Amino acid sequence: MPEHPLRGIALLLAALFLFALLDATSKHLSQTYAVPLLVWARYTFHFLMMVIFLAPSMRWKLVATRRPVLQAVRGALLVAVTGFAMAAFRIMPLAETTALLFVTPLFVALLAGPLLHERVGRLRWFAVGIGFLGTLMIARPGSDLSAAGVVLTLTAAACYSVYQVQTRMLSPTENSVTMLFYTALMGTLVMTLGLPWFWSGPLPTPIDALMIASLGIYGGTGHFLLIRAFRHTPASTLSSFQYSQLIWATLLGWLFYDQLPDALSMLGMMVVAGSGLAVVVAEKRRAAARA
């Protein structure tokens, strides 16, 4: 497929906006409904979308995989990421929580050596150190952030980093849409099995029911746009735009929750984003050296 960089960047920005909407909507709903119920809805409606729109055309290709166990573990990890992140968003501001989740590339850099047998150069180590300094600026002692929320967010980031490492392991041999299907499938299976234990509280109003269903629509559509973006534009080009989700999260937090980061937290967010971009630069240099 020929490259269309601007189209890929536009698709990526749209996907990140949908992910930010998912986070903002789950924050609102989690004040009334149990987080596991929202996680179940996010994956179940995502799964149904894939079955309805992709299964008739892809058929067996949608589920064909050479490594089903790793696919299942990867899917379960993403379920854990969603659960921990939604629990964090329930008690934390959108912008700061999103920024802390962006320490994931730094965790991936740390895991790349032992799990992927990649050489971690000085630039990547320096970026990791600066990134953790940024997280301390956001979640510093004396800030208004919940300590439990910070722990939940960093746990989500740690799970997401292992998920990304497994994605690298699978991507050379597995279809990207199939990988997306298994994440939806695992989320639906795992959370449906637990549904009788966390189905409690008030019945959703029609508006709330639509908002709950929208979680799966935001997630499924966002991931589909993400896949399309990487088909049009190289990952090295798109990676530097992924931090635009911080902008969406800040705007939505301000518009819907009247929450804005203070000056030091804002500086910490920029430090985290900058260190993540430094990791991207290091990845580009490593790829160029290999080539």
What pLDDT tens digit does each residue of the chain (291 aa) get? 556 678 888 998 999 999 999 999 999 999 999 999 999 999 999 999 999 998 999 989 999 999 999 999 999 999 999 999 999 999 999 999 999 998 887 787 777 667 666 666 677 777 778 888 888 888 887 678 899 999 999 999 999 989 988 888 888 888 889 999 999 999 999 999 988 788 777 889 999 999 999 999 999 898 888 888 877 777 666 766 788 899 899 999 999 999 989 888 999 888 888 887 777 776 667 666 666
- Would the pTM count as exceeding 0.85? yes
d(C-alpha 237, C-alpha 55), whole Å: 31
The tens digit of pLDDT for each residue in 269-291 reads: 888 888 877 777 766 676 666 66
The tens digit of pLDDT for each residue in 179-234 reads: 999 999 999 999 999 887 887 778 899 999 999 999 999 998 988 888 888 777 77
- Select from 237, 227, 286, 288 the least CA-distant residue to 109: 286
Q: Which helix (H) or strand (E) holds 230?
A: helix 206-232
- Select from 112, 122, 164 the least CA-distant residue to 285: 122
Cβ neighbours, 10 Å, residue 131? 26
- Select from 99, 93, 102, 215 the least CA-distant residue to 149: 93
**Longest alpha-carbon distance in the chain:** 58
3-state helix, strand, coil in the chain (%, to 5): 80, 0, 20
d(C-alpha 284, C-alpha 286), whole Å: 5
Give Cα separations from 174 to 87, 180, 229 (angstroms).
Answer: 31, 10, 18
Cβ 223 vs Cβ 180: under 8 Å = yes
- Angle of the 94-101 helix axis to the 122-138 helix axis, nearest 10: 160
Query: Which amino acid is it at 30?
Result: S
* Alpha-carbon torsion, ordered 225, 227, 231, 235, to 10 deg: 110
Task: Look up residue 224 and give its two tokens.
Answer: 């589909």
C-alpha dihedral sign at 111, 114, 117, 120: positive
Cβ 26 vs Cβ 89: under 8 Å = yes
